[in-house]
Amino acid sequence: MKRNANGITPDLFLDRHGRRVLTDDGIPGINGLEGSGSTTEVIQSKFAGMLFNEGERLDKKQLTDIKRWIELQLDTF
């Protein structure tokens, strides 16, 4: 199983139902199956894939910005 530079493995990215949203290689896919999932599940797994594969390039301030943007969206519900 792939690990990113921070030592995180794809199997740690789970949805609220406990299903994996990434394959062993960090590719988006519900239940660890590449490309699977509904339209919104695909969006969720793409976001997880970006965090897994590219997140190590961001510094803490940039990750905090992303967290703030997510919280902005959550506040609209």
Whether the per-residue pLDDT at 5 is higher than 90: the answer is no
Structural domain boundaries, residue 64:
10-74
The whole-angstrom separation of Cα 76 and Cα 29 is 27
Residue 32 placed within a domain? yes
pLDDT per residue as tens digits for the range 52-77 = 999 999 999 999 999 999 999 999 98
Percent of the chain with pLDDT over 90: 91
Whether the per-residue pLDDT at 48 is higher than 90: the answer is yes
Q: Please, are residues 26 and 2 in contact by the beta-carbon 8 Å criterion?
A: yes
Burial class (CB in 10 A: 0-12, 13-18, 19+), 55: middle
Residue 57 placed within a domain? yes
Residue 52 placed within a domain? yes
Give how many domains the chain has, as a whole number: 1
Residue 54 placed within a domain? yes
Residue 2 placed within a domain? no
Residue 4 placed within a domain? no
